[in-house]
Structure 1
């Protein structure tokens, strides 16, 4: 509930699940009706998840009035689960078998009425007309009631209106049998839309199913089972082998392998122990873990992914907005055309009234824009869900459309194309052996917080070396070296320049230093007071899949470029390894200028780690954050690669292009079928029941075509999976 600065109640936030809202036209009808209510604002309707959110002044329009308005339109409002992350309401229509839904009952009723009328016509042909009239009228009542409610609520040109006019007109001219068949086919079409929409929501259900319903927590020395929504930050959960992690947390005891594929897309189980972060829905392997909960069920990674996908599906893509605006003029124009078809031939050319009334009524059925309206949002919803299954999150249809049109991809270097921390790549000793030199260097760096020092220590430990003890700790020569006293004397780890100033850098070692620095590596010299022991080279190495990811993007015809603030030599070395262009030594303003120059030739995607790249991500046509499930990756930019794989960028582009292709196919299906049936109707070939197929049939075809995107497996550019 929001309050004004004077403390008075300004608006209540209301969230509802609207059962039966399974297409874009349904959503538009509800939105139009609620806009007319006083005090109602910020209406957000998402037919993909059957969710409605709005603000309302309870003093002007109560919740009951809003729910009654929705019921009058033929839908069922139910409370939404707002306090937990997993929004499941038991007993909802979509959780029941399709044959137990309201729309299936309408199909059964109209089918039974049609069968009875057919039986009467068989037994008593003279009564057949009246039997079909009765069947048509009984089936038409709920449709006409919804049409009237829609007309009174600001949607006069709905499919129910067109159906009611066409069916009533057919009865008037004596085509009662066709009127009854049309009503039955309309009911079947609505049911098929409902089933198809349920399948489109399956991606969200799959994510919901990743999180266990209960958690084992420690309380007062005992282990108790509690619902996951009751977990609080600081609770200690016990996760046994084979269990799923109930919420995000930190391991405080235990060692095990965790399968994080559902969250990060990482196919290989990761070994984790004390201090490691774990994500809700991860599957524990072979060890019992005690985990301190850091996120509640409403805020864990899976819940955030679900909400991001739901919100993304609710946002409209530019194409969808255009089609909505187009449909607002298209439908009344089509009705006007139907009227002209009815009156012009008889009045001007003396044609038969009954024939042209029949053809005009068929045109009314053909004119409904349902299939056209749903063509884009159905494809966008399926594309977003397909991406979520591969932990490729896109925040809305606009971003997905833009991704399908980009001409270039710009990358940050550190933490994006590279691992984000330096590693020892070369160890070369000129006195003693390599392990002895590395151990001494690690001893000097003990206690250091510098990334290079930590990398040297990590390299020594990875080789299982015994690190010597220092006496008196280490001291630094600012900008030059770190020195420490070991058992057999002083040892320094410093820059080649410092070693050269002390005449400790022989020519052979100097040549090797230049070669390694030419490869973009940072070189340090390990020396005693009088002698260079050797050198260590370090570099922030490229991610294992970075080169392949760049190749995939090039195979898609995209320009790739690295924008980095690092020195030119280091940037060029990494770029040479990965095979992309580079612009180095860029200050933040220069990065923005580089993005602007790329955008002059077409839409540009910027890929960064989501932490220090915010300006460049915002300046690009579409920003993509890499972050392995972190809050920053989920909140920054227009898309997020939770898998932390550079190859995920190409997968996003493949998926986006498949979605754009699917949208174009849907529009062609929707308009093409209408054009075909319009021509056959005007030529007297099509009947009323065939005309209804131009709408309900096209709607089902469009939805089914969009669902094909759920099967897309955009692995690489060379092998993009099933196209759409």
Structure 2
């Protein structure tokens, strides 16, 4: 069976939601097109062609509509060259084709107006050349849109209003209206371009070149071409060019550009680093673990662009509403123009003028863009904080969550054991830790790594061990300074020596706290105890309190044993369900949904995937498995429990912004509708009402780009 292939293009010149519908209608009508999707937020179009699609048909149709088109994988420079006359590039909005057309129309209007003042006897037709300059390109787009499935476009309403004004003797106003329309389009393009660039700007965090080491020498090559497994040299002050693992060196890494963390993290051999982060104080050698197209930043950009194509329920409703709204505006405008003169003997020129103004007031641009602009800004703001939300439907649903069910290991906890207690018997704690670290120095077991990490943190010496031997299920032993030493489980230790009651009680108490205890023997004498546990994340308590303060219930679902889970749950203040299989977690999620909860499930492992899929919203944590990230509706990339609350807060902020936008769009139209009918405002205030509302709505949505959530660093 052949794989269905989709082709992606980048479209230049899109600045409002009506552009999306025009392009989708036009391309879907082409013979051989099986599916088409257009994203305003990312400026892209994806089509699934059939076998009978004519070569170049898509490109010709897009250009006929007045937009530019380039392949989706075109290099940035090539894309800019194709679209420089259409889109914002490096802030140079005045170089775009729209800016040039607006400037020429404005200049023609000013010159014509001055000429009319100097020669007042010249008829109104003096304004026709200036009107033609601005209106002909608009009318051409209106005709093409009508022929390709969008008869009720903003350009068509604009054309009807301008031509109608010309024929009733309002040529001066007709030119002014066209000029204001072009100014409005230009402002919309600038605002949309900046919003679109906000997420693509992440790509600029990754350096263009990297120093790769080959045969003992370093060579500068494009970062895009770094092969997997290659080793790159990262100097102090350099941005890291690829996701990778440190193979040599120790340095503080500033992750603020990617994660928002204000404090650099100390990292050494074996630690993971991300593309775009900054090496601050020492030379590092990093082995590349992801290609340029699959590094952390590239995945974030790709996921956010895909998410922006997913429409929220509110947006789908507004889109459907607008398909009836625009024809209704035409009908209302026509009725206003003809009913008063026919029924009550009103002035034809006066009421036709008012009908034309209503056409301009009724343009749906501001209303249609109210939701996608806010959704795109919300998704971008979240991505910059490490919160990936896969679409508008998810961001709309998050605000309604009433229960968050969290996995324990790797979600509420660090996902690795840490030394929590050192109990010495007859010798200093540092000596106990030193002896235990010596025994574990050759092991990669998680408990051994915990002891070695603690020894490193405490800066205790790790002397060489001789005749080291590991016994499965019991522990390790060897010779240290001529003395036999062992690190054993309590059961294995009791087989070799007697543990007094006080020591046994202490072991039981530590076990009761969910900790794993190892007994250190020197000869046949107990030298001390070392207890370890997978500890809660630093921000876990605060993160859970954030949720509870918002009225959201929390629940821990874990496959771990009940004693350990209860101990962690008691520390965190969360209800616990333990000893669960993957299907058990899914069952509990569905049970809570039947009880009326809107459930968000948070997890990081394969065993969380069924519950993530069953939940109303599935959220994958940090360095989770690929299957968890694929199954989930959202992801907390940096593993902060508090970011779950931040994600819900972002949803609420976004939805609040959407309702502000809808209210502003409809409110302005209602005010100007009334003032036009009673004769207070005319054509040019009407177009200001439309383009002004569109710009206002877009700028209001862009305020979300400044959202940061609670920063706990």
Q: TM-score, normalised by structure 2?
A: 0.92
Counterparts in 2 of 1:148 and 1:21: CA distance versus 1, 3 Å: same
Query: What corresponds to 1:722 in structure 2?
Result: none
Q: How does 1:161-560 map to 2 (within 5 A)?
A: 161-219=156-214, 221-445=216-440, 447-467=442-462, 472-476=467-471, 478=473, 491-496=485-490, 504-527=498-521, 531-560=525-554
Question: Do the aligned partners of 1:81 and 1:89 also contact (CA within 8 Å) in 2?
Answer: no
Quote the residue 2:621 is aligned against: 626
1:16 equivalenced with 2:9 (yes/no)? yes
Structure 1 residues 559 and 527: alpha-carbon distance in aligned structure 2, compared to 1, 3 A threshold: same
Cα contact 1:610–1:636 (8 A) shared by 2: no
User: Is 1:587 equivalent to 2:578 in the alignment?
Assistant: no
The C-alpha deviation readout for 1:320-367, integer Å capped at 9, x for no partner, is: 112111111111122122222223333333333332222221111122
Which moved further from structure 2: 296-305 or 181-190? 296-305
Q: CA deviation at 1:512?
A: 2.4
Q: CA deviation at 1:654?
A: 1.5
Is 1:146–2:141 an aligned residue pair?
yes
Q: What is the alpha-carbon distance in structure 1 between the residues aligned to residue 81 and residue 278 of structure 2?
A: 26
Deviates more, 1:523-532 or 1:319-328: 523-532
CA distance in 1, matches of 2:75, 2:6: 13
Stretch moving more, 485-494 or 75-84: 485-494
Q: 1:575 is matched with which residue: 554, 569, 579? A: 569
Partner of 1:644: 639
Distance change >3 Å, CA 477–CA 198, structure 1 → 2: closer
Q: Is the 8 A contact 1:392 1:648 kept in 2?
A: yes
SS at match of 2:292: coil
Q: CA deviation at 1:37?
A: 0.4
Question: Is residue 710 from structure 1 mapped to residue 705 from structure 2 by the alignment?
Answer: yes
Cα separation, partners in 2 of 1:301 and 1:87, compared to 1, 3 Å: farther
User: Does 1:598 find its partner at 2:599?
Assistant: no
What CA distance in whole angstroms lies between the structure 2 residues aligned with 1:495 and 1:322? 63
Q: 1:38 aligns with which of 15, 26, 31?
A: 31
* DSSP 3-state at the match of 1:183: helix
Cα distance, 1:151 vs structure 2 = 0.4
**Which runs of 5 or more residues in structure 2 are unaligned?**
none
Alignment root-mean-square deviation, CA:
2.8
Of the candidates 67, 70, 80, which is equivalent to residue 78 of structure 1? 70
Aligned 8 A contact 2:629 2:635 in 1: yes
TM-fit CA distance, 1:587: 2.0
- Greater CA deviation, 629-638 or 684-693? 629-638
Say whether the 8 Å CA contact 1:265–1:642 is kept in structure 2: no
How far apart in 2 are the matches of 1:90 and 1:211?
22
**1:463 to 1:253, Cα distance in 2 relative to 1, 3 A:** closer
User: Cα 1:461–1:270, aligned 2, differ >3 Å: closer, same or farther?
Assistant: closer
Judged with a 3 Å threshold, the aligned counterparts in structure 2 of structure 1 residues 91 and 236 are, in CA distance, closer, same or farther, namely farther
SS, match of residue 555 in structure 2: strand
Contact 1:43–1:54 (CA under 8 A) maintained in structure 2: yes
**In 2: Cα distance, 1:704 partner to 1:128 partner:** 41
Is structure 2 residue 57 aligned with structure 1 residue 56?
no
CA offsets 1:556-587 (integer angstroms, 9 cap, x no match): 22212211122223222212222222222222
Tell me: CA distance 1:499–1:14, structure 2 relative to 1, closer, same or farther (3 Å).
Answer: closer
- CA–CA separation in structure 1 for the residues paired with 2:436 and 2:271: 28
Shift of 1:628: 4.6
Bigger drift between 274-283 and 419-428 goes to 274-283
- Which of 186-195 and 538-547 deviates more? 538-547
Match of 1:108 in 2: 103
2:141 and 2:197 map into 1 onto residues whose CA distance is 28
SS in 2 for 1:125: coil
Which sits farther off after the overlay, 631-640 or 579-588? 631-640
Pair 274,652 (structure 1): closer, same or farther in 2 beyond 3 Å: same
Give 3-state SS (helix, strand or coil) of 2:560's partner.
Answer: coil
SS of the residue aligned with 1:560? strand
Q: Is the 8 A contact 1:12 1:57 kept in 2?
A: no
Q: Are the counterparts in 2 of residues 242 and 286 from structure 1 also a CA contact under 8 Å?
A: yes
Contact kept in structure 2, 1:633 and 1:642, CA below 8 Å: no
Structure 2 CA distance for aligned equivalents of residues 413 and 386 of structure 1: 28
Task: Give the number of equivalent residue pairs.
Answer: 708
Cα 1:519–1:291 change in 2 (3 A) is closer
In the alignment, the residues of structure 2 paired with residue 50 and residue 364 of structure 1 have an alpha-carbon distance, to the nearest angstrom, of: 28
Deviations 1:525-576 (A, max 9, x none): 3346754443222111111111111122222222122111222232222122
Distance 1:358 1:221 in 2: 80
Displacement of 1:485: 6.2
Gaps of 5+ in 1: 720-724
Taking structure 1 as the reference length, the TM-score comes to: 0.91
Aligned-partner Cα distance in 1 for 2:51–2:406: 50
Is 667-676 or 248-257 further displaced after alignment? 248-257
